[in-house]
Amino acid sequence: YMIIALLEGEAIKNSEFSTAHIVELKKLNEKFMKSRSSKEKLKLDRLFHQKLIEKYPNQYAKKIIEDIRIRVFIYELEFMDEVSTTKSVEMHDKIIDHLQAGKKSAAINELKTNWEISIKHILNAYSTKTP
């Protein structure tokens, strides 16, 4: 998860965000907020994060991010099924607001915090399960 956060942060740092791009991020986050099923939430969250790095020119890093996302898919599905996504929606909004204001460092910090929510949930969930 921290590798995803680091790579996505680097992608944000090295990308430009047009007004149209910001509008698309907002629309995806609105759909994410309204979604009900865990599969739909996961799909929309993934699309949001893909949109964040869409303009990053390093195709190799984008492929690595996608490969890691595939590896954590089952954990993310469980997260979407068990945890309210309200906090994630709010964090996505903050990321968008920071990008719109040209504050990439703040957006990257919020992104890392967003990924940390998943990490904490998974560590907690699996530390309490019996083998």
Closest CA to 56 of 108, 98, 97: 108
Question: What is the C-alpha separation between 36 and 92, in angstroms, rounded?
Answer: 17
In 10 A of CB 88, how many CB atoms?
Answer: 21
Q: Would you give per-residue pLDDT tens digits along the chain (131 residues)?
A: 899 999 999 999 999 999 999 999 999 999 999 999 989 999 999 999 999 999 999 999 999 999 999 888 888 888 888 888 888 999 999 999 999 999 999 999 999 999 998 888 888 877 876 55
Question: What is the C-alpha separation between 121 and 6, in angstroms, rounded?
Answer: 19
Q: What are phi and psi of 103, to 5 degrees?
A: -100, 75
Return all residues near 77 (Cβ < 8 A) that are at least 6 apart.
Answer: 38, 39, 42
Question: What are the angstrom distances between the C-alpha of 113 and each of 40, 95, 101, 107, 131?
Answer: 22, 10, 19, 10, 29
pTM value?
0.90
